[in-house]
Amino acid sequence: MGADSRFDPGTLAGVLIVSCQARADSPLASPEVMAVLAHAAVLGGAGGIRACGAADIRHIRSVVDVPLIGLTKRTVADSPVYITPTFVDAAEVVASGADLVAIDATDRARPERVDVRDLITRIVSELGVGVVADVDSVAAAKVAATAGAAFVATTLAGYTAGHVPAGPDIDLVRRIADEIGGPVIAEGRYQHPDQVEAAFRAGAHAVVVGKAITDPIALTRRLAAMAPRPAPGGRR
Number of structural domains found in the chain: 1
> How far, in Å, CA of 168 to CA of 211, rounded?
13
Q: Is residue 7 part of a domain?
A: no
DSSP state of 134: E
Q: Is residue 235 part of a domain?
A: no
Q: Give the domain range for residue 23.
A: 15-220
Q: Is residue 73 part of a domain?
A: yes
Question: pLDDT tens-digit profile of 80-90?
Answer: 999 999 999 99
Q: Is residue 225 part of a domain?
A: no
Q: Which uninterrupted H or E stretch holds 228? A: none
Q: Given a cut of 60, is residue 141 above it in pLDDT?
A: yes
Mean pLDDT, range 1-8, rounded to an integer: 61
Q: Given a cut of 80, is residue 17 above it in pLDDT?
A: yes
Model pLDDT, residue 159? 87
- Least confident interval from 8-17, 55-64, 140-149, 161-170: 161-170
Q: Is residue 94 part of a domain?
A: yes
Q: Is residue 6 part of a domain?
A: no
Q: Is residue 4 part of a domain?
A: no
> How far, in Å, CA of 203 to CA of 208, rounded?
14
Q: What is the CATH number of the domain that holds 90?
A: 3.20.20.70
pLDDT band for 2, please (50, 70, 90 cuts): very low
Q: Is residue 79 part of a domain?
A: yes
3-state secondary structure of 171: helix
